[in-house]
Amino acid sequence: MSDPDRTRRRNPATPPVGGWGFGAAGIPTGFWVSLSAVLVVVAIVLLAVDYTGYGALLLVLGLAAVVNAIP
């Protein structure tokens, strides 16, 4: 019962020293601008045909994507 794997202490889950390799900062700004443009256009179309819930949701998501494009 003296298995060396069982006696070793596990490391806590912490981010790497240099930070995470991928996140909102890892995606190019052009992607966020184009994504927000697509979301806002689809939101306007949905709001025009009285899909207010989905249209408002996509409008909020488009605005959230624009925030990631701001340096």
Question: 39 and 65 in contact (C-beta within 8 Å)?
Answer: yes
Q: Where are the domains of the chain?
A: 29-71
Each residue's pLDDT tens digit, 5-61: 566 666 666 655 655 555 666 788 899 999 999 999 999 999 999 999 999 999 999
Question: 35 and 67 in contact (C-beta within 8 Å)?
Answer: no
Residue 62 sits at φ, ψ, to 5 deg, of: -65, -40
Q: What is the pTM of this model?
A: 0.66
Q: Please list the alpha-helical segments (H only) found in 17-71.
A: 29-48, 52-69
Question: 63 and 36 in contact (C-beta within 8 Å)?
Answer: yes
